[in-house]
A and B are shown apart, each in its own frame.
Chain A
Amino acid sequence: MKSFPGSDGQAVTAVNDVSFEVASSEVFALLGPNGAGKTTTLRMMLGLMQPTSGDAFIDGRSVASDPEAIKKLVGFVSTSVGVYQWLSPREMLSFVADLYDVPPAEATERIERLADLLGFRDYIDRRCGVLSTGQKQRVNLARALMHDPPVMLLDEPTQGLDIVGSQVVFDYIQHLRTEGRAVIICTHRLDEAERFADRFGLLHEGSLKLCGSLPQLQQQTGQSSLTDMFLRLLQHEVLA
């Protein structure tokens, strides 16, 4: 659970009773409308926020008691994360590698590999401030992988991107899966989620309403698509 002090002094509970498991090579989509608590859940998993109560475990390590160790195990991608305007992608990636104590030789080798994988070799030495949104996104995707984390957290990774940009993200997610990483994606784009995720968690008003693979959810709800399931869930809420 996570609660914040509200403007009136009363505690506002953002997330309550959210539990799920993700295995390696699995893509888990955390779905829900805006304000459902997706980002807060993600930030707690990232060790950026301490849960008010409860815990999350990555590789057996606790987020509540060992947030710094967790940070080394998790890569974070979000369109809200920016790039350093006055550094080149190469400089920025070396800097991030240094933050995670990646040895310099290994960092250089990884930058080369990621430049080829994500296709930013052409502008690897230009300053980030002059890059387009799509180009910046590629640099950011590379940034999250600089310390080779076993778990990846993606927060609205396609927000504000065009079709090409989104496709790069989809390919990236596919790549993460083949590399054996556990991937958790927060999104409100249900149609997209259906394309790339193995299992789904439907979050609404801070709690997890549904959780399982698409066939499981279809069986549970009697609806064929995620969108329908969600709309029905909302309807129930309204009626109740």
Chain B
Amino acid sequence: MTSSPDSPKPSTGRTLRLARKELREILRDRRTVLTLVLMPLLVYPLLGIIMRNGVLSNLSLLSSVKVVVCVENEGQMALFSAAMLEGKRLLEEADGTAAAAKQAATSEPGETSESAGEPTVTPGLPVVSQEVEFEIYALDAQEQPSTLQAEVENGGADLAVVIRTDEVPDLPEGMFARQFVDWTVLQRDGSSVSARGYKEIGRRLDAFNEKYRELLMDTAGLPKQLPFDLATETVSAEGDGVSPLVTFIPLVLVLMTMTGAVYPAIDLTAGERERGTMEILVSAPVSRMTLLAGKFVAVLTVAVLTASMNLLSMFATLFALGLEGSVLGNLSVTMIVQVVVLMVVFAAFFSAVLLSITSIARSFKEAQAYLIPLMLISLTPGVFSLMPNLKINSLLAVTPLVNTVLMGRDLLQGNVDLLMFAVVLVSTALYGMMALSLAARIFGSDAVLYSSGGSWNDLLRRPEQSSAVAPLPVALFSLAIVFSLFIVAQGIPSRLGLNTTGQFVASGGLSILLFVATPLAVAVISRVRMSSGFALRSPQPLMWVAAVLLGFSLWPFVYELEVSLISQSRLEELKSLYDQIAVKLDEAPFWSKLFALAIAPAVCEEFFFRGFLQNAVRQRTTAVVAVVTTGVLFGLFHVIVRDALMYERLLPSALMGMVLGIVFERTGSVLPGMLMHLCHNGFLVTVAHYEDTFAAWGIGISENQHLPLTALAGAAVPILIAGWLLKAARPEQENRLLSEAQPETAA
């Protein structure tokens, strides 16, 4: 690639001014406003009305359903309504008794249950006690001659009821006189309202019959007790039986976010090139990254605006139809914040993807041709969200699009796994950064601007010249891959059916694959030189000493930090988690633990985080930014442990990562960090393994206890010495860069 180096520093103010200009342009165009405002305002109420009339009554979501019933004449009309009213009254009476009985059973003496008095509505569950209203008309009152069957057939009525009155038999004494009747209900095939009405008629007549039977038995002086009494209680499976509408919402939201972003993304890249205004931008002394950032902010803003408009319109429709309770359950502020965060992160991801694709296109038409397949592919994940039994797992959580749709569903259902939520957010954000760095690589490059073809090849072509350190996009790319693989692969060692030793070996092997093989492959493909790209060079001899000193003396502080961060209840929780695996830990030989928990992580993690990542970040930022960002990332990786989110590990691990980062920065080599990491982990593994032996010698600390101050003071001495050694070290970073710059210019 021959694009010019971006010497002007990207500036936030400039980016925002650029974004403002882009937004001004986009928003003045009525086409955008149309998709942005009008579409959601029209689509949802319309959809709502259709669903209310057609689908919803079947889903038992509405609080009431109106059923139109046709009978033969006025007399039957009176009979029908009287029977229905009586049936309803009896049902209500029975419900009242049942509720009172339930309350008596559940309330403990001396305490009042808050929820007992009211009918409890499980969030997301259909409303069970759905009101059916009958609207009755008589056939003979119609002007046109018709039959009951015809009325049902042509939809004039949902049901028709034929009532045949029989002779009144002899009634037992005390029973009120009533006609015995034969009812035949004509139901329209395939109509949900019709079916619902029929069911309700049956229920009310049953109640009537039941009452009559009781009366008969009373009169005859027979016991009311029947030989069998059957009652059912429905227990809803987790995530099951949830309103099907909830699964649609994230899908619709994702689609709408995409729709909102597509037009501005094309307009600001391919459109700009087509109109010839791109040259104004690229001939200005503004870095391409800044130009792209401005466009990204603009596209993101429109996407988020579209998504918000859709969300608002959707909720307004649900609210207007009285469905918000049954569809969404209990809305909480946390839930709304989570949905919004997910939406914004997804919008950022998709905007970046769109920009990277539309940057290649030279015209609107070409861009649209590229985007159609993308949109079609993006529709597929929607299918996943419609499978109610599909639970989000590690693999799905790092699959772009699918993760957002599934997480959106879980959020709205109120059963969100925070670990998965974090994984979805981080992976989506990483993919977004990856797409954005890809877009930056293509955007405005002269091959795309002026040559007639081959830009896709340019994108995937290996660079002609090797580079000393991985460029930032390459580093981000491998970070995204490593993160996804890390999430997916974590569970593998335990699923292989190996014994504990085997599992330890497998997990060490996994570290090698993840943190060594992956970045190595990326480095080879993008022609990053090994020794410099991973900072594999020998440091000054004294640096080894500093590394050992730090490796053995940092743990008391890390330990203290962890102890002070952890709460008692959380400790119990972790203990029980730990107890499940602790038994197995003792079975494994020491060497396997040392390999899996000390050697492999020390070598592999340093290779990736410091050698590759921090090295790359440092090329574009200051030492402080490089150390802090890599440290935080290092901390994040340590938070996610298999199926749990060990958030108390974030700060200690991030700080540890930063110390390792400082060592890397000062020594210019990845090796001392490896040694320090190895000493630290190795020491802890050894202590844990020989805990009993140490305890027998009288050395040891009981759990969750603070260390004595003298121990901390003692540990501070080697740290200070190491710090002084590092400070006194020759600034390796600069020397190294100078020496590496030399052969390049010579070549």
Tell me which residues across on chain A come within 8 A of B277, comparing CB atoms.
81-84
* Known contacts A76-B279, A80-B276: A100-B24 contact under CB 8 Å: no
In the complex, A46 has a CB within 8 A of chain B: yes
Q: Which residue of A lies closest to B6 (CB)?
A: A68
Q: A5-B451, A43-B450, A76-B279 are in contact. List 11 more A-B contacts (CB 8 A).
A: A40-B450, A48-B449, A67-B4, A68-B6, A68-B285, A72-B285, A76-B283, A84-B275, A86-B26, A99-B280, A100-B284
In the complex, A37 has a CB within 8 A of chain B: no
In the complex, B2 has a CB within 8 A of chain A: yes
Q: Whole-angstrom distance from the CB of B198 to the nearest CB of chain A? A: 60
Q: Whole-angstrom distance from the CB of A132 to the nearest CB of chain B? A: 16
Tell me which residues across on chain B come within 8 A of A69, comparing CB atoms.
285
* Known contacts A7-B454, A85-B275, A96-B280: A47-B24 contact under CB 8 Å: no
- Inter-chain CA distance A44–B286, complex, in Å, is 17
In the complex, B452 has a CB within 8 A of chain A: yes
Q: Are A86 and B29 in contact (CB under 8 A)?
A: yes
Name the interface size band of chain A. 35 or more
Q: Are B4 and A47 in contact (CB under 8 A)?
A: yes
Q: Are A48 and B285 in contact (CB under 8 A)?
A: no
In the complex, A71 has a CB within 8 A of chain B: yes
Q: Which residue of A lies closest to B2 (CB)?
A: A50
Tell me which residues across on chain A come within 8 A of B275, comparing CB atoms.
82-85
Q: Are B282 and A48 in contact (CB under 8 A)?
A: yes
In the complex, A57 has a CB within 8 A of chain B: no
Tell me which residues across on chain B come within 8 A of A74, comparing CB atoms.
283
13 contacts between A and B (CB under 8 A): A40-B450, A43-B446, A47-B283, A50-B2, A50-B3, A68-B285, A71-B284, A76-B283, A81-B276, A85-B25, A85-B275, A96-B284, A100-B284
- Inter-chain CA distance A99–B449, complex, in Å, is 20
Tell me which residues across on chain A come within 8 A of B21, comparing CB atoms.
87, 91, 95
In the complex, A181 has a CB within 8 A of chain B: no
Q: Which residue of A lies closest to B21 (CB)?
A: A95
Q: Which residue of A lies closest to B444 (CB)?
A: A48
Q: Which residue of B lies closest to A79 (CB)?
A: B276
Tell me which of A40, A81, A87 contacts B25 (CB under 8 A): A87
In the complex, B28 has a CB within 8 A of chain A: yes
- Inter-chain CA distance A67–B286, complex, in Å, is 11
Q: Are A5 and B454 in contact (CB under 8 A)?
A: yes
In the complex, B453 has a CB within 8 A of chain A: yes
Q: Are A4 and B451 in contact (CB under 8 A)?
A: yes
Tell me which of B5, B285, B451, B452 contacts A100 (CB under 8 A): B285
In the complex, B7 has a CB within 8 A of chain A: yes
* A 225-238 binary contact with B (CB < 8 Å = 1; else 0): 00000000000000
- Inter-chain CA distance A134–B277, complex, in Å, is 17
Q: Whole-angstrom distance from the CB of A126 to the nearest CB of chain B? A: 13
Q: Are B2 and A52 in contact (CB under 8 A)?
A: yes
Q: Are B454 and A99 in contact (CB under 8 A)?
A: no
Tell me which residues across on chain A come within 8 A of B287, comparing CB atoms.
68
- Inter-chain CA distance A143–B277, complex, in Å, is 11
Q: Which residue of B lies closest to A153 (CB)?
A: B283
Q: Whole-angstrom distance from the CB of B196 to the nearest CB of chain A? A: 53
The majority secondary structure among interface residues of chain B is loop
- Inter-chain CA distance A127–B30, complex, in Å, is 14
Tell me which residues across on chain B come within 8 A of A143, comparing CB atoms.
280
Q: Which residue of B lies closest to A46 (CB)?
A: B283
- Inter-chain CA distance A134–B458, complex, in Å, is 37
Within 8 A of A (CB), among B1-36: 2-8, 17, 21, 24-26, 28-29
Tell me which residues across on chain B come within 8 A of A187, comparing CB atoms.
none
In the complex, A191 has a CB within 8 A of chain B: no
Q: Are A71 and B285 in contact (CB under 8 A)?
A: yes
Tell me which residues across on chain A come within 8 A of B6, comparing CB atoms.
68
5 interchain residue pairs of minimum CB distance: A82-B276, A99-B284, A82-B275, A86-B28, A71-B285
* Known contacts A47-B4, A49-B450, A86-B24: A80-B284 contact under CB 8 Å: no
Q: Are A98 and B446 in contact (CB under 8 A)?
A: no
In the complex, A158 has a CB within 8 A of chain B: no
Tell me which residues across on chain A come within 8 A of B453, comparing CB atoms.
7
Q: Which residue of B lies closest to A75 (CB)?
A: B283
- Inter-chain CA distance A69–B450, complex, in Å, is 22
In the complex, B100 has a CB within 8 A of chain A: no
In the complex, B47 has a CB within 8 A of chain A: no
Q: Which residue of A lies closest to B290 (CB)?
A: A99
- Inter-chain CA distance A101–B9, complex, in Å, is 13
Q: Whole-angstrom distance from the CB of B45 to the nearest CB of chain A? A: 30
- Inter-chain CA distance A80–B453, complex, in Å, is 19
Tell me which residues across on chain A come within 8 A of B451, comparing CB atoms.
4-5
In the complex, A78 has a CB within 8 A of chain B: yes
Q: Whole-angstrom distance from the CB of A183 to the nearest CB of chain B? A: 16
Q: Which residue of B lies closest to A2 (CB)?
A: B2
Tell me which residues across on chain A come within 8 A of B286, comparing CB atoms.
99
Q: Whole-angstrom distance from the CB of B447 to the nearest CB of chain A? A: 7
Q: Which residue of B lies closest to A49 (CB)?
A: B446
- Inter-chain CA distance A75–B550, complex, in Å, is 58
Tell me which of B3, B25, B447 contacts A5 (CB under 8 A): B447
* B 253-292 binary contact with A (CB < 8 Å = 1; else 0): 0000000000000000000000111011111111100000
* A 90-119 binary contact with B (CB < 8 Å = 1; else 0): 010001101111000000000000000000
